Structure 1
Amino acid sequence: MSITGIYRHFKGNYYEVLGEAINDSKETLVFYRQMYEPFGFWLRPKDMFFEKKDTEQGKVERFIKIGESSENIMGKIDVRSLRIRHSEKEEIYQIRSWKEEDGSFEVSKIE
């Protein structure tokens, strides 16, 4: 089952999941972009992306899928030029390889 699609964060913003990524230490990450300015690209550990958060209303999913993507954004940009921020660390990554057929990425930290 593909994780790609449009998601709503529990605080209300919208994001597009572009696929799964594996970094140099073999951690599985979700590769996504925010759908509002500045339209940045992000990585977040997969377990954390799909975890439930404690809120005043009780436990809620951090991100909930609300639909499918309507266009292939990755086919319109130079993926190797992207600089991708890790949501939990002060690290910047770049795409090392991309398998379009299954939406998987390999990423490396920029030194």
Structure 2
Amino acid sequence: MSMQKGIYRHYKNRKQYHLMEIATHSETGEQLAIYRALYDDFGVWARPLAMFSETVEKDGETVPRFALEQTLD
């Protein structure tokens, strides 16, 4: 699975995040999304790429967990 590096908006809090890199877990080989919050303390986070790119239900509608707003190629 591949995703574009860029600015994404989270479906729940509507805040922006910068997807910086796709990393590979050294033990399991699982792909991880490495991303930075673009607000408050600008913390850096990691979550499974499959979870970062999945869709979720919100108000009876299927939406992306993180929606791409701007690419940074």
Q: TM-score, normalised by structure 1?
A: 0.58
Correspondence for 2:71: 68
Q: How far is the alpha carbon of 1:55 from its aligned partner?
A: 1.3
Aligned residues: 70
User: Partner of 2:57: helix, strand, or coil?
Assistant: strand
- The runs of 5 or more residues in structure 1 that have no matched partner are 70-111
User: Partner of 1:47: helix, strand, or coil?
Assistant: helix
User: Alignment partner for residue 48 of structure 1, among 25, 48, 51?
Assistant: 51
RMSD of aligned alpha carbons: 1.7
Q: Distance in 2 between the 1:19 and 1:2 partners?
A: 9
Cα distance, 1:2–1:62 mapped onto 2, change above 3 Å: closer
Moved over 4 A (4+): none
Q: Distance in 2 between the 1:2 and 1:43 partners?
A: 14
- The runs of 5 or more residues in structure 2 that have no matched partner are none
Percentage of identical aligned residues: 35
Correspondence for 1:14: 16
Higher strand share: 2
Q: Which has the larger radius of gyration?
A: 1
Show CA shifts across 1:1-26 (max 9, x none): 65210001112010000010011221
Q: Distance in 1 between the 2:3 and 2:32 partners?
A: 14
The answer to whether the Cα contact below 8 Å between 1:49 and 1:62 also exists between their aligned partners in 2 is yes
Correspondence for 1:30: 33
Q: TM-score, normalised by structure 2?
A: 0.85
Amino acid corresponding to residue 14 of structure 1 in structure 2: Q
